[in-house]
Amino acid sequence: MAGKLTVATVKALMAKGLPARHADGGNLYLHVTGKDAAKWSLRFMLHGKSREMGLGACDPEGKVGRTLAQARDDAEAARKVLRDGSDPVDQRKAEARAKAEVGGRAQTFKAVAEMHITAHGEGWRNAKHRAQWTSSLETYAYPALGKMPVADIGTEHVLGVLQQLVEEDNGKRVPLWNARPETASRLRGRIEAVLAYAAARGWRAGDNPARWKGHLSAMLPARAKVARVKHHAALPWQEISAFMPRLRALHATAARALEYTILTACRTGEVLGARWSEVDLEAAVWTVPAERMKAQREHRVPLSTGALAVLDGLLPLRPVDGDGYVFPGQKEGKPLSSMAMLMLLRRMDRSDLTTHGFRSTFRDWAEEATSTPHAVSEGALAHTIGNKVEAAYRRGDLFQKRAALMQEWADYCTRAPAEVVAMVPVVVTSNSRA
């Protein structure tokens, strides 16, 4: 019998907060999920199957949910659809889809992408990431999708972007997914994110056509199957002691930055963003704040005598107020350019190397030439612990062990390279004396 519940009853049930289902009649139910938390639903039979339709949250005041009277009206509207032989759940989905399409046709992919970048840009670690987002979309996605309404973009459109032909160095035209798999994979993820943003704003409905698992993965080969990942070019660790004297002979801020990068085994961005306020020369510690670390966790870097010598040489450049960038650029108040160290390597006729590659040089040396535990060398590189159990139990940062390792690394880097002595064979004759 309809009308079993009253407004007072609903308020009392929600105040008690005991999880339970309460019938109002006509298959309308109030589901109490906790204190002052409840929702409405309507149960019905269709084609011999029982179904349940959510009618929204319950709010006796009608401010953030449906009142008892509104829930009864919603239930009666759904019953009318049933009497007409239709499914009220499917009809509601169709209405939502139509509404999304109307709104989505007023929003182009480019416009929504720019909204997404603006909304999330502040959370990205650096401006370079934002620039890469914009650049990849402008180059590969906007020509085909830029002016399209987000509501109309389907799987075929996304595939068209990922399989567009691009020219390789040999002049041959190859699908983007095959020619530049890493770029294409990142592009797919960015298109997926933009379309997810559009769906969240109510501008499109249905599944995301750019999703990988269970969708595009069935139509495109996995990135790892298309091409091998190209690692950063690295100097063999056996050659570092011969490389360092050449580097030290150069009188340039970029040379000191590269030397410091090698001796600390840190990432380029961490070094270029280093400020004097982060360095404790007396304690021989450089503390990189969490916001500048890849893992978003503060990292204490033990400074070897070699690294301290680099900093001592830069003290004359330290601002009067004691802060500022350790490796200042040409523009006042700006750090050294991210390309400075790479250009320095080119001037040294070592364009075969990359700045990041020296981290591999350090790791290879630690693994092959020392008895350093793997956890210590990984800690020196500020790598996160992949094993969740191990990460949960490890509380310290192995600072003292890392300090010893970095001093050993600095000593190895400054060690004079071994001389190569030509061996002359001695021919023994019958007249030779023993």
Helices (H) and strands (E) in the chain, counts: 19, 9
Q: Which amino acid is at 247?
A: L
Q: Which amino acid is at 387?
A: N
306-318 average pLDDT score:
93
Instruction: Name the token pair of 124.
Output: 């990205």
Does residue 275 contact residue 319 with C-beta atoms inside 8 Å?
no
**How many degrees, rounded to 5, is the angle at CA 223 between CA 219 and CA 227?**
125
* CATH class of the region 7-86: alpha beta
85/261 Cα distance (integer angstroms): 72
Quick one: which of 271, 265, 263, 266 has its CA closest to 307? 263
Question: What pLDDT was estimated at residue 78?
Answer: 92
81/19 Cα distance (integer angstroms): 30
- Domain 109-226 = CATH 1.10.150.130: yes
pLDDT in tens, 382-411: 886 554 444 444 557 899 999 999 999 999
The domain locations on the chain are: 7-86, 109-226, 237-414
Task: Give me the half-sphere count of Cα atoms (radius 13 Å) on the Cβ side of residue 119.
Answer: 12
346/367 Cα distance (integer angstroms): 28
The model's pTM: 0.52
pLDDT in tens, 67-123: 999 999 999 999 999 998 888 988 887 776 666 555 556 789 999 999 999 988 777
Radius of gyration of the chain (CA): 32
Quick one: which of 152, 149, 153, 179 has its CA closest to 164? 179
pLDDT in tens, 261-292: 999 999 999 999 999 999 999 999 999 998 88
- Domain 237-414 = CATH 1.10.443.10: yes
pLDDT in tens, 329-361: 988 889 999 899 999 999 999 988 989 999 999
